[in-house]
Amino acid sequence: MSAASPAPTHLREDPFALAQAQLRRVGETFDVDPNLIQVLSQCKKGVEVSVPVQMDDGSVFPFQGYRVVHNTTRGPAKGGIRYHPAVTQDEVKALAMWMTWKCALMGLPFGGAKGGVICDPKLLSLGEKERLTRRYTTEIINEIGPEKDIPAPDVGTDAQVMAWIFDTYSMNVGYSVLGVVTGKPLAVGGSVGRDGATARGSLYCIRTALQKQGSRLQDRRVAIQGFGNVGSNLASLLCDEGARVTTVSDSRGGIHNAYGLDVPAVIAYRAEHGVLQGFPGADEITNEELIEIDCDVLAPCALEQMITAENAPRVRAKMICEGANGPTTPAADEILEDRGILVLPDVLANAGGVVVSYFEWVQGLQEYFWKEYEVHAKLNDIVVRAFEETWSTRERHATSMRMAAYGIAVQRVAQATTIRGLYP
């Protein structure tokens, strides 16, 4: 498979249809005006672009790219850009909608957006990736901006990709625009604490949930699916807190040690070898087996629809923390809820990234930057407050954490929509 070849999708169901179905259920549960639900079930706008790139061998290939804005009622759109061979337009639309709810739940003045390019970044050279990024930015340049739509990293992209977007946009307008994108390197206006922010937000949620249950992180057994930015940082943070990270995996498979893995050594091994398999003192395990492994906390930090109606009955975790977006299907949700497994939903559990992206945006607009302890403290305040609001709503309505989180978020966006009214 070449870097330009679309991959077979990992999605079993249409993610946008699932997101719309979730929204309708929230509307019924929280008695939201059906007219507002109808409005919020559609994306505000989207573009599909062809991104021709000259490859290292001299050939030119037109990659397919997307940028979708779901809602801007509460402020400019915010959302990541992913480079992945299985990107689809409906996936991007669903992710944009989930970003709207995530920002609203966290109380951020943003709406939701998302972008993606169909490619395999692992098979692109650095030069090819830069040319792809700059051309993609140029194709969507009229759609983005610090007061319109602010991209950030996602699956397959990183701080370097954000730096290229920042530079391309700034060169086109003739001056540096720090607020056009977040997740940038510190040297060009990034924020301290941004790189591990998503994982840190997940840590705060897991810790608070265990406290609610009269427990603590010390010696809790954790399995993490996905060992990219979120998964690896979460493993490190949990290890520092005294948890026992027993199982981790990447796209090729994983490793398991019931007594706990040496997380720093695992990270070093993967950096050297590019894979987790072969790590000394651990058994190899598949991603499918990881989902069903006996543990206290399961953290899916990879892609969507990893926990389905098929494998949900065999999940043995006591708690699931969704480090990824949409890793659990609605059918699986019902099974897990019936089995008494606490699910910390994506819009709450992985919102740390967009919270610190908001901090970076604010710092860029002010051109005044904070210290790392300030970032961590403000992140903790926002995430824990959102957790407490969600937990309280869950108890008051006798529903799931996901339905409670979505209910809070959807009602906030609906209220803002009503107050602003329809124009013209």
From CA 76, how far away is CA 361, in angstroms rounded? 11
DSSP element (H, E) containing 244: strand 244-250
User: Which has the closest alpha carbon to 104: 371, 364, 388, 351?
Assistant: 351
| Sheet bearing 221-225, strands edge to edge | 283-285, 253-256, 244-250, 221-225, 297-300, 319-321, 342-344
Q: How many C-beta neighbours within 10 Å does residue 30 have?
A: 18
**Is 114 among the catalytic positions?**
yes
From CA 43, how far away is CA 67, in angstroms rounded? 11
* DSSP code, position 221: E
From CA 280, how far away is CA 38, in angstroms rounded? 54
Q: Which of 78, 93, 102, 114 is catalytic?
A: 114
Q: What is the DSSP secondary-structure string of 160-217? A: HHHHHHHHHHHHHHTS--GGG-SS--GGGT--TT-TTHHHHHHHHHHHHHHHHTT--S
DSSP element (H, E) containing 285: strand 283-285
Q: How far is CA 242 from the centre of its chain?
A: 25
Residues annotated as catalytic (active site), given as ranges = 114
